[in-house]
């Protein structure tokens, strides 16, 4: 038997033993643990996954096991959590280095919170704890998306970023890319279902007094928050109106065609030149420009909103769209009346603000505009924010929706009179 084959067999046996030990300590992971099959058929210096298999380097696995059995369990569960939280397919459109670091920090924060001997780290992690404390002061749950957003807002120099990556390095992420986008998207629904099953099992055992694993459950709950399609939601603000267009349902095609055949260029019934349709006419879009909101995310949100509104099927030729920028006061109020003005606004868009957040000035301003007759039939206001700020105490005279990114915001703070809308950042990337 070759030395390579020997290492493969040793590595497979060690990983099989680690999986059994993880199951004994974390039985709610039974379905997930059986979904990654160890495979030594790929070249990796450590351990890696493409969301289908768990690739390993036999000699590296053996070396980890020799140092401490718990290190193999940690590596196995580290890769498994990446899959459960669907980190590989979410890499699309994001900075690869920052996303890798963010995913590793999110997963390691879970492992460091689990009080099991099979997951004991190699050494004390004072630097990790410093980062956990710093991040938790900025976000309710240490999800990869929230950490990524934090690192974009608080950039590190190249040396600091490399040092941070080494601190939380566990597995090899190269197969996230090598697997291909189609393969990653194909596996995403399977891991979503597995994650939901694990979440259900954990909520069941925790209702019976089991306290460990809270960090896993928190991230799974964020991962499986109800996400709404923003394009569909915008059409809630559409109104019925009349515009110049051929109404295909307002005349009989039979008589029309008969006239053309019988008399040449003489249809018996002329098509109606006006038709009723339901489109957006009056709308207010407010942007939270405070320091807690990323300018990059604001641009993504506006870019995607633009792709929806520029579609002639979404709004009337003449519209009354107000785009407001506000932190603790109104910083900008721009009136958009047609697609050309909207395109020009997007081309020259500049973010104004970066102070604290107070939502009340926007609502006061819109109420004043209504009293001044600035709107014909205002259906509502869409406020893009992370949810941190001072909300109005009372329901306004119009519908209000606070739009936030799932896993990167504080939806629990939205008052009961408002609509809370969570959208996936991947949906925003469609507008770029």
The predicted model gives 299-314 an average pLDDT of: 71
The confidence score (pLDDT) of residue 427 equals 66
Q: Reduce the secondary structure of 10-65 to three states and give it as a string.
A: HHHHHHHHHHHHHHHHCHHHHHHHCCCEEECCCCCCCEEECCCEEEECHHHHHHHH
Q: Does position 268 have pLDDT exceeding 80, yes or no? A: no
The confidence score (pLDDT) of residue 78 equals 94
% of the chain residues with pLDDT over 70: 75
Q: Does position 82 have pLDDT exceeding 50, yes or no? A: yes
From CA 25, how far away is CA 120, in angstroms rounded?
A: 13
Choice among 13-17, 243-247, 362-366 with the minimum mean pLDDT: 243-247
Higher pLDDT, 308 or 365: 365
pLDDT tens-digit readout, 232-261: 777 766 544 444 445 555 555 665 666 666
Q: Does position 373 have pLDDT exceeding 50, yes or no? A: yes
The predicted model gives 330-354 an average pLDDT of: 84
Tell me which residue of 284, 189, 279 sits closest to 241, measured CA to CA: 279
Higher pLDDT, 238 or 81: 81
β-strand partners of 335: 322
The predicted model gives 107-117 an average pLDDT of: 88
Residue 303 burial (10 A CB sphere; 0-12, 13-18, 19+): middle
DSSP for 112-173 reads HH---GGG--SS--HHHHHHHHHHHTT-SS--HHHHHHHHHHSPPPHHHHHHHHHHH--SB-
Q: Does position 312 have pLDDT exceeding 60, yes or no? A: no
The confidence score (pLDDT) of residue 280 equals 61
The confidence score (pLDDT) of residue 242 equals 45
- Three-state DSSP at 288 gives strand
pLDDT tens-digit readout, 137-191: 877 778 888 888 888 878 999 999 999 999 999 999 998 877 666 666 677 778 8
pLDDT tens-digit readout, 178-236: 766 666 667 777 887 887 787 777 777 655 555 566 667 677 766 655 556 777 777 76
């Amino acid at each position: 038997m070759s030395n390579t084959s020997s290492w493969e067999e040793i590595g497979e046996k060690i990983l099989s033993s680690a999986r059994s030990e993880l199951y004994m300590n974390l039985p709610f992971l039974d379905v997930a643990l059986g979904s990654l099959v160890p495979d030594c058929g790929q070249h990796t210096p450590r351990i890696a996954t493409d969301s289908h298999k768990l690739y390993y380097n036999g000699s590296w696995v053996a070396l980890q096991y020799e140092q401490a059995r718990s290190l193999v369990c940690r590596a196995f569960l580290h890769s498994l959590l990446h899959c459960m939280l669907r980190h590989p397919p979410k890499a699309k459109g994001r900075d690869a280095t920052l996303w890798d670091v963010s995913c590793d920090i999110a997963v390691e924060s879970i492992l460091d919170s689990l009080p099991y001997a099979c997951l004991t780290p190699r050494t004390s992690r004072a630097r990790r704890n410093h980062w956990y404390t710093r991040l938790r002061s900025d976000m309710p749950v240490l999800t990869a998306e929230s950490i990524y957003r934090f690192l974009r807002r608080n950039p590190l120099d190249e040396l600091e970023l490399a040092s941070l990556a080494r601190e939380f390095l566990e597995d090899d992420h190269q197969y996230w890319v090598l697997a291909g986008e189609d393969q990653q998207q194909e596996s995403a629904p399977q891991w979503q279902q597995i994650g939901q099953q694990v979440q259900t099992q954990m909520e069941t055992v925790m209702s019976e007094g089991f306290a460990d694993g809270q960090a896993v459950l928190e991230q799974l709950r964020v991962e499986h928050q109800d996400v709404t399609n923003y394009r569909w939601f915008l059409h809630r603000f559409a109104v019925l109106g009349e515009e110049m267009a051929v109404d295909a349902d307002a005349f009989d095609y039979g008589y029309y065609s008969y006239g053309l055949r019988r008399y040449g260029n003489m249809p018996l019934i002329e098509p109606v030149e006006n038709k009723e349709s339901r489109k957006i006419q009056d709308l207010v879009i407010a942007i939270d420009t405070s320091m807690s909101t990323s300018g990059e995310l604001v641009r993504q949100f506006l870019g995607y909103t633009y792709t929806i509104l520029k579609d002639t099927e979404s709004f009337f030729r003449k519209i009354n769209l107000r785009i407001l920028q506000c932190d603790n006061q109104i910083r900008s109020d721009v009136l958009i009346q047609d697609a050309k003005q909207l395109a020009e606004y997007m081309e020259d868009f500049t973010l104004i603000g970066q102070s604290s957040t107070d939502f009340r000035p926007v609502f006061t301003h819109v109420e004043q505009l209504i009293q001044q007759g600035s709107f014909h039939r205002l259906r509502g206001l869409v406020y893009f924010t992370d949810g941190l700020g001072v909300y109005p105490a009372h329901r306004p005279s119009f519908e209000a929706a606070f739009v936030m990114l799932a896993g990167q915001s504080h939806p629990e703070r939205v008052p009961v009179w408002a609509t809370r809308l969570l959208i996936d950042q991947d949906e925003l990337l469609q507008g770029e």
